[in-house]
Amino acid sequence: MKKVGSLGGQDLREMFNAATSWLEKSSADIDALNVFPVPDGDTGTNMLLTMRSTLEEAYRAPDHSASAVAQAMAKGALMGARGNSGVILAQILRGLAQGLEKKETFTAVDLANALEQSSAMAYKGISTPVEGTMLTVIKDVAAAVKAQVSSDAGDLISVMEAAVKAAGESVARTPQLLQVLREAGVVDAGGQGLYVILDGALRYLRGEMEQMRFRKPQIIVTDMHATKLPQMIAADEVPYGYCTEFLLKGEKLNTDKIRSKLEKKGESLIVVGDDCAVRIHIHTLDPGEVISYATSLGTLHQVSIRNMDEQHQDFLEMQRDRVPAMDTAIVAVASGDGLTDVFTSLGATAIVPGGQTMNPSTKELLQAVESVPSDKVILLPNNKNIVAAANQVQSLTKKTIEVVPTTTIPQGVAAILAFDYEADLPTNVQLMRKAMSAVKSVEICRAVRATKIGGLEIKKKQPIGFLDGELVAAGESCIDVLNQVLAKLDLGKVEVVTIYYGADTKPAEAEEVADSIRERYPQLEIEVVRGGQPHYSYIVSIE
């Protein structure tokens, strides 16, 4: 399994470059989510524009140290911050820069400390912090990362994986914390944007840039159904007023004093910056009064005053014209938290727990199909004993169901990797069927009883190996059995071997198995992934 101990400024910049490209793919979907603090439909756009300004400055960093690049990013974010979400994002990056100050490179522990700073800075900049927003998400991310470094202090990838997982779970919980989200049946748009940014950074670290070209970020969905139509959300007779934001430049500027002065002049007030440059965002009925006060302190730049009532009408039009964000959903069957994470990270909309000895019923598959926000669904059974139940689902729902008959986890992973968001349903089914047929699956487990099959004398609890579902090997150890199975294959055209280790297998043992294969087959790229699956010590994908 790839590990990263430390990173410099160039990698930090490229992480956020990848994150910005990833965010761009879903900015319109994030716009369509936004209902807080005002249903204006531009959160994704504002975060994207803020990130672009962040990158522009990052490429002007005076040197390649982590500190210099982080400081440049923070400056770029402050100067180019757009909207409520953009200003909070700028605060998060400012905290990151403070946490990485004077560091040439940074470790997982450094990143954890920096993200704590990010959370603190994000809350500090808000006059009235509201939970169930991106503030909550960055707080939950910081806590998860801190917990992760205590158990795995050396690996930046595992720390970022913890960050992304925590962000996704936190975004999914936002409707529980904020009534307006609960009423709309959506998650917080700013939190979703932050999740996408972190996910893009993680994918860069994993070396998945090529895969990102053909995929889109996952939009987190809530299981809460909307109780109000978009036009009913926050539709009081009180006008929204004007979204007023600008950059104030001057000398000896005092953010606390400015915040105190403006608190009674509007809502959603954010005042962030330093003694030379302060970014101000406020929703006010009298922007002139705010502007007049600010000009007494210095010069104004990038002034934007937008009528939020008109924005709200535009948002309603967008909601009326909007097509579902997800054209085709994927429902996959998997057992084990590691495999669940694998399928979720690759774009599965819903996971049905199940596999060998615990086959889900047709009813359970139907419930998962009905829960996803799409009328077109692809089912990945990932086990030969589940294919028949999956085939029954179409007759029980009005949705269009296609079963890609994957019979192993490696086939399921290959199929979902082949999914193309730009293609229609029939094309995707064709692509996924072709991909699943190109992968070989090896499964290593222990025999539950003594028996004799196909010329093999098998003892109880002895390691045995299956190749594409057929029992082909038995031996004294898992390494021995796996090598026996591999010897039956022509590995000349094979490029990647991915080893998913089970719930009862220790990571160190899995690495030993991987090292054994590397020694015998140095031309192969070997990846080790925690599958957490029961029953099988190892599930191995050969591509």
- Decide which of 437, 469, 504 is a domain's last residue: 437
Q: Answer yes or no: do 107 and 66 share one domain.
A: yes
Q: Answer yes or no: do 66 and 214 share one domain.
A: yes
Domain membership of residue 136 (yes or no) is: yes
Q: Answer yes or no: do 520 and 466 share one domain.
A: yes
Alpha helices in 422-497 (DSSP H): 425-437, 478-487
CATH number for the domain spanning 123: value is 1.25.40.340
Domain membership of residue 1 (yes or no) is: no
The reply to whether the predicted model has a pTM over 0.75 is: no
Q: Answer yes or no: do 311 and 450 share one domain.
A: no
pLDDT tens track, the chain, 543 positions:
467 778 888 999 999 999 999 898 888 778 777 654 444 457 788 888 889 989 988 888 888 899 999 999 999 988 888 777 888 898 999 999 999 999 999 888 999 999 999 999 988 877 778 888 889 999 999 999 998 887 766 788 888 999 999 998 998 888 888 776 676 667 888 888 999 999 999 999 888 877 777 777 877 766 555 444 444 444 444 456 788 888 888 888 888 898 888 888 887 788 878 888 888 888 888 888 889 888 999 998 888 887 766 655 555 555 444 444 458 899 999 988 888 888 888 888 888 887 666 778 888 898 888 888 888 999 999 988 888 888 888 889 899 999 999 999 999 999 999 998 888 899 999 999 999 999 999 999 888 788 777 778 888 888 898 888 888 888 888 888 888 888 888 887 788 889 999 888 898 898 988 898 888 888 888 888 988 888 889 999 988
Burial of 107-122, coded b for 16+ CB within 10 Å and e otherwise, reads bbbbbbbbbbbbbbbb
Q: How many CB atoms lie within 10 A of CB 448?
A: 12
Domain membership of residue 264 (yes or no) is: yes
- Scan for tokens 């009328």, then name that residue: 375
Q: Cis before residue 37, ω within 30 degrees of 0?
A: yes
Q: Answer yes or no: do 338 and 213 share one domain.
A: no
Domain membership of residue 218 (yes or no) is: yes
- For residue 481, give its domain range: 440-542
CATH number for the domain spanning 277: value is 3.30.70
DSSP letters of 515-534?
HHHHHH-TTSEEEEEE---S
Q: Answer yes or no: do 34 and 112 share one domain.
A: yes
CA–CA distances in Å: residue 351 to residues 335, 342, 396:
9, 11, 19
Q: Answer yes or no: do 58 and 118 share one domain.
A: yes
457 DSSP β-pair partners: 452
Domain membership of residue 235 (yes or no) is: no
Residue among 427, 435, 462 nearest 446 (CA) = 462
What tokens appear for 65 in the block? 């140290």
Q: Answer yes or no: do 31 and 135 share one domain.
A: yes
In a 13 Å sphere around the CA of 400, the CA atoms on its Cβ side amount to 10
Q: Answer yes or no: do 145 and 222 share one domain.
A: yes
Q: How many domains does the chain have?
A: 4
Question: How many residues make up the chain in this entry?
Answer: 543
Domain membership of residue 39 (yes or no) is: yes
Q: Answer yes or no: do 153 and 262 share one domain.
A: no
Q: Answer yes or no: do 40 and 185 share one domain.
A: yes
Check if the beta carbon of residue 5 is closer than 8 Å to that of residue 107.
Answer: yes
What is the structure's pLDDT at 117?
92
Rounded-to-integer distance, Cα 119 and Cα 295, Å: 31
CA–CA distances in Å: residue 458 to residues 10, 76, 334, 443, 447:
54, 65, 28, 16, 7
Which residues are within 8 A (CB) of 313 and not within 5 positions of it... i.e. 6 or more apart?
none
Check if the beta carbon of residue 491 is closer than 8 Å to that of residue 497.
Answer: no
Rounded-to-integer distance, Cα 294 and Cα 77, Å: 21
Check if the beta carbon of residue 442 is closer than 8 Å to that of residue 540.
Answer: yes
The helix/strand/coil state of 459 is coil
Check if the beta carbon of residue 177 is closer than 8 Å to that of residue 131.
Answer: yes
Check if the beta carbon of residue 15 is closer than 8 Å to that of residue 296.
Answer: no
Domain membership of residue 398 (yes or no) is: yes
Residue type, 114: A
What tokens appear for 506 in the block? 């220790």
Rounded-to-integer distance, Cα 282 and Cα 293, Å: 13
Domain membership of residue 236 (yes or no) is: no
What is the structure's pLDDT at 130?
81
- Decide which of 173, 206, 230 is a domain's last residue: 230
- Decide which of 295, 318, 341 is a domain's last residue: 318
CATH number for the domain spanning 426: value is 3.40.50.510
CATH number for the domain spanning 486: value is 3.30.1180
What is the structure's pLDDT at 199?
92
Q: Answer yes or no: do 509 and 477 share one domain.
A: yes
Reported as type and span, the H/E element at residue 8 is strand 6-8
